[in-house]
Amino acid sequence: MRLAPATRLLQAPLWGWVVPKAHISARPAKTPTSASEQAMALCVTFFSFLIPAGWVLSHLESYKKSAA
């Protein structure tokens, strides 16, 4: 079995895609983010991962019983 035609089939859609250039600036932000805004964003990010994981871990025994 030759892999060359298969790899060409997988790579074919990537040839036609145009990736936009990122707008990266070395200047400081126009409105700097305060420490309280940064803390709030960090808390929301952590809680968005920790609450579902905690839910699953706390209900793990009931998931095991329903699967059996």
Using only C-alpha atoms, what is the Rg of the chain?
A: 24
Q: 33: buried, middle or exposed (CB in 10 Å: 19+, 13-18, 0-12)?
A: exposed
Find where tokens 């019983």 sit.
65
More reliable by pLDDT, 68 or 55: 55
Distance (Å, whole) CA 14 – CA 8: 10
**Better-predicted residue by pLDDT, 9 or 19:** 19
Q: Is the dihedral of CA 56, 59, 63, 64 positive or negative?
A: positive
Q: Is 67 helix (H, G, I), strand (E, B) or coil?
A: helix
pTM of the predicted model as reported, rounded to 2 decimal places: 0.49
Segment 12-52, tens digit of pLDDT = 565 667 778 888 878 888 899 999 999 999 999 999 999 99
Residue 66: pLDDT band with limits 50, 70, 90: confident
